[in-house]
Amino acid sequence: MEFTEVVRNRYSCKNFDAGKAVDAAKLTEILEAGRVAPTAKNFQEQKIYVIQSAEGLAKIDKATPCRYNAPTCLVVAFDRTNVFTYPGGRRDSGVEDATIVATHMILAAANAGVDSCWVNFFDPEQLAKELGLPENEEILMIMDLGHAAPGAAPLPNHGSRKPHREDSHVPRCGLAERCRRQCCGLLAAGPPLKRHIILLTNHPNRVTLTASSYGPVAQLG
């Protein structure tokens, strides 16, 4: 399947056919997409648990009402002791890395013809205890996998997307304020622009302003 079709057509399935299992080869393909996903410093701190047994699925059902009869659930977690810490020490890469991994797998599932649902309606700490995960591992999400039951379809608002903004806010401080004034001039000088992007270059006194994907470009410096 073309990538653009995958990202546009994939949806969160809310009703799976409990009697139709995920093909083992397709599951391997999905897991491989998570294995090769990029992580900060290539720490590869992701932990992916495949839940298919009746006992395991009962624990998922205890944690959330959102399994929707899926025959397979992936629990995506990460090792908190093996992450990249941002400068300043207040953030680390655990959640973002696990999110990249989960996104790779959910798109790989769509590409393989497997339906899915990203589940976050549960208590991660409680589920970790139920599954007996190590203390250093934190759960990010549950991924339902399976095949849609007859009649299942995307939610009515699935295709609804916000349009590109007609304008954008730039913080009113120093060089950014100069950029904002320049941007306003560009907006006033031409037809309405779908969006504009502010790019701060490495030069300490220069701002490159791009007005929409097709509009004018100005530099301050």
Dist CA 18 CA 72 (whole Å): 9
- Alpha helices by DSSP H, listed for 69-220, are 94-111, 124-131, 174-189
Strand segments, DSSP code E, in the chain are: 46-51, 72-79, 115-119, 137-146, 196-200, 207-211, 217-220
**Together in a domain, 45 and 105:** yes
* Residue 190 placed within a domain: yes
Q: What pLDDT score does 166 carry?
A: 56
User: 77 φ, ψ to 5°?
Assistant: -130, 175
Residue of 158 and 191 predicted with greater confidence: 158
Residue 145 or residue 193, greater confidence: 145
Residue 161 lies in a domain: no
Assigned domain for 166 exists: no
Q: Is 137 a domain residue?
A: yes
Given a cut of 90, is residue 191 above it in pLDDT? no
Range of the domain at 111: 3-146
Asked whether residue 139 falls in the same domain as residue 181, the answer is no
CATH number at residue 76: 3.40.109.10
At 29, which helix (H) or strand (E)? helix 24-35
Query: Would you place residue 123 in the very low, low, confident or very high pLDDT band (cuts 50, 70, 90)?
Result: very high
Residue 62 lies in a domain: yes
Q: Supply the pLDDT for residue 126.
A: 98
pLDDT at 146 over 60: yes
Tell me, yes or no, whether 140 and 178 share the same domain: no
Say which range, 109-113, 124-128, 184-188, has the weakest mean pLDDT: 184-188
Instruction: Say if residue 98 is in the same domain as residue 200.
Output: no
Question: Do 54 and 136 lie in a common domain?
Answer: yes
Q: pTM of the predicted model, to two decimals?
A: 0.76
Distance CA 43, CA 100 (A): 13
Of the pLDDT bands very low, low, confident and very high (cuts 50, 70, 90), residue 217 is very low
User: Are 47 and 136 part of one and the same domain?
Assistant: yes
85-95: pLDDT as tens digits: 999 999 999 99
Q: Does residue 56 sit in the same domain as residue 112?
A: yes
Nearest to 18 by CA among 63, 72, 96: 72
The reply to whether 12 falls in a domain is yes
Top pLDDT among 42 and 177 is at 42
CA dihedral 112, 114, 115, 119 (to 10 degrees): -90
What are the pLDDT digits (tens) for 31-82? Answer: 999 999 999 999 999 999 999 999 999 999 999 999 999 999 999 999 999 9
